[in-house]
Amino acid sequence: MATDKLVAMNIFRRVAELGSFTRAADDLDITAATVSKHIAFLERDLDTRLINRTTRRMSLTDAGLAFLKRTQALLDELEDAELEARGFQAEPRGLIRLNVPMSFGLTHITGAIDSFLARYPEIEIDLQLSDRMVDLVEQGVDMAIRIRSTLADSSLLAKPLRQSRNIVCAAPGYLEHSPAIHTPADLAAQNCLMFNLHDRPRVWALGDEEVVVSGNFRTDSSLAIRQSLLNGAGVGLVPRFLVQQDLDNGALVALLSEYPPQPYTVFALFPPGRKQPTKVRLLLEHIDQHLGEKPYWE
């Protein structure tokens, strides 16, 4: 493959990752005109438009998205081959796009990222915090972390990391003025705070029972539910990893412990049909070590 095409592919990848010709030029320490020239060269060589450009924004065409996927895989393979040939004396470098649920990311992943970047200063991480599942290929995500009982998309490459479980809890102040809670059926008389992104937000499966709950607050953020719980607003079904410290210090009280919800698995997910580059494998190993062999919330 000609050197100029490899250069153009690298530039195209950076433009796609940063979403801007100017930002890519600044990042690569070249002129915007040079970036445009290489993109034009690729489009002529491939006889297709890769990027739609206006004065306000740019976006990849369908051909551009498909080419980016192949380009990322090829350049990652070349980077790994270079590292291997140098006996890993070269520093891993480049951008990693990581997509993580908001609550788990803030409580358990950002610390791992900080120490990872301190160890590998030539790597950049674009952290996307979202509780909604995204299309890893379309969004150019290198690795995603999701907490699920099962994975709906079997085409994704998945590595189980840890187990997690939800827990029913409330603040002592709320419990002082609410009806007693001894069985799941007692939740029908409570103000239950619901997480919209559950498959069935109003149905809580506890032990072998299912109970339909109701309440005056629904949200797509488990962090918001935790704060409302701490404020004494009601009863919540939330991840143990999010509230374990609140349970330990008495700010929240665990309820219905004899009716445990089904466990979830913390998965690391990768785009299908693509070998993970060294930098992504290093990040996965680092996160795995950071979580510890048995996290306090398991």
Query: Do 161 and 268 touch, CB atoms closer than 8 A?
Result: yes
Per-residue confidence (pLDDT) for residue 46, from 0 to 100: 87
Per-residue confidence (pLDDT) for residue 2, from 0 to 100: 52
Q: How far is CA 130 from the centre of its chain?
A: 6
Report which residue type is found at 115: S
The DSSP string of 219-275 is ES-HHHHHHHHHTT--EEEEEHHHHHHHHHTTSSEEE-TTSPPPPEEEEEEE-TT-P
**Ranges 79-83, 86-90, 230-234, 275-279: which has the least confidence:** 86-90
pLDDT, one tens digit per residue, over 52-66 is 887 677 888 888 888
**Tokens representing 173?**
């102040």
> Residue 176: how many CA atoms within 13 Å on its side-chain side?
5
**Band of residue 228 on the pLDDT scale cut at 50, 70, 90:** very high
Residue 267 to residues 5, 140, 144, 288: CA-CA distances in angstroms?
36, 18, 8, 11
Q: How far is CA 298 from the centre of its chain?
A: 20
Q: Comparing C-alpha atoms, which of 149, 52, 94 is closest to residue 280?
A: 94
d(Cα 272, Cα 44) in Å, to the nearest integer?
Answer: 29
Q: Between vectors from CA 8 to CA 5 and to CA 14, what angle results, nearest 5°? A: 145
Per-residue confidence (pLDDT) for residue 1, from 0 to 100: 47
- Rounded to an integer, the average pLDDT of 233-244 is 94
pLDDT, one tens digit per residue, over 101-157 is 999 999 899 999 999 999 999 899 999 998 887 777 767 788 999 988 877 766 678
pLDDT, one tens digit per residue, over 1-44 is 454 888 888 888 888 877 788 888 887 888 888 988 998 888 89
pLDDT, one tens digit per residue, over 82-97 is 766 766 556 788 889 9
In sequence order, the 6+-apart residues with CB closer than 8 A to the CB of 297 are: 164, 239, 240, 241, 244
